[in-house]
Homo-oligomer: A and B are copies of this chain.
């Protein structure tokens, strides 16, 4: 007989089904075929259903020495990209009975990672530098998002080379011959990779660096756009930087896109409001896939690195150069 106001346990299910606790466990964990008869199994499932049985995670964790907890390491959950990664990852985690905790690890923290590594079963990381990764004490299962595919862990990335190729093709198609790069001043793979691809395809590239903020983007863009042979198009590593560039153009009395075209990355609300041409990153999908991969790794299933396409969204911030 189970107490009035508490949840049923596997013992209650066993009593209701007229079998032992072990049998309940076997059946409900799906390891019964060949060990329990079909009739008994059905019996157990019915009883569990009827009582509304749900296994106690604390007991299972204690027994198995696992926590069913995944840690997501991102610079800041308030950045929309990482919030979207979180959303996708949390969805898949919950579906698999895992919980997801966020550990903030600022981009600037380039030293060895020093977050808690006990009490978690696996880790999802985004935008983590090599030096930080070196801080991992024990080999905790790890999947990385938007990170070096040559690195130590499987990755889920968007197609950086493809996205840069699309931007350059778009700008070249409009007739641009002087392209500038407003680069994020952060030493992580994704930005290094964007710079590399861009340099490969744009021999005349001029580059300015800025921290990721509207104010910093504004300052650096001001400088880039004040030079005598100023670029006619500015490829920005981020919508926030693009917003800064947009403001700088207005400040200099330059028309967008008549005098200067501007592109961003992310597709934030910002991009919609300023009508920025930008690369829409599949952040939520990356989170989902990364967590699915981690689940595969934890189950010992093979996991292939994933590469998702990113769509170039055309808006009013790009056009033919010298239009006015």
Residue positions of A touching B, CB distance < 8 A: 7, 54, 56-59, 61-62, 67, 69, 76-78, 80, 83-84, 86-87, 90, 94, 99-102, 104, 118-119, 214, 240, 243, 246-247, 268-270, 272-274, 284
Contacts and interface: CB of A to CB of B under 8 A. Distances in A.
Contacts of A284: 78
Grouping DSSP codes into helix (H, G, I), strand (E, B) and loop, the A interface class, with mixed when no group exceeds half, is helix
Contact of A56 (B62, B76, B78, B272): B62
Contacts of A54: 118-119
Given A90-B102, A102-B90, A214 B77 contact: no
A240 B90 CA distance: 26
A261 B310 CA distance: 37
Given A77-B86, A87-B77, A270-B273, A99 B7 contact: no
A101 B102 contact: no
A200 B130 CA distance: 57
Q: What is the oligomeric copy number? A: 2
Nearest to A80: B78
Given A58-B67, A59-B62, A62-B62, A243 B76 contact: no
A21 to B, nearest CB: 16
Contacts of A87: 76-78, 104
Contacts of A272: 214, 243
Given A56-B62, A62-B56, A118-B54, A269 B67 contact: no
B269 A240 contact: yes
Nearest to A274: B273
Nearest to A102: B90
Contacts of A59: 58, 62
Contacts of A102: 86, 90
Given A77-B86, A270-B270, 15 more contacts: A54-B119, A57-B119, A58-B58, A58-B61, A61-B61, A62-B62, A77-B83, A77-B90, A90-B102, A99-B101, A214-B272, A243-B269, A243-B272, A243-B273, A269-B269
Most chain-B CB neighbours within 10 Å: which of A54, A58, A243, A269?
A: A58
Nearest to A81: B78
A4 to B, nearest CB: 13
A188 to B, nearest CB: 20
Most chain-B CB neighbours within 10 Å: which of A69, A240, A272?
A: A272
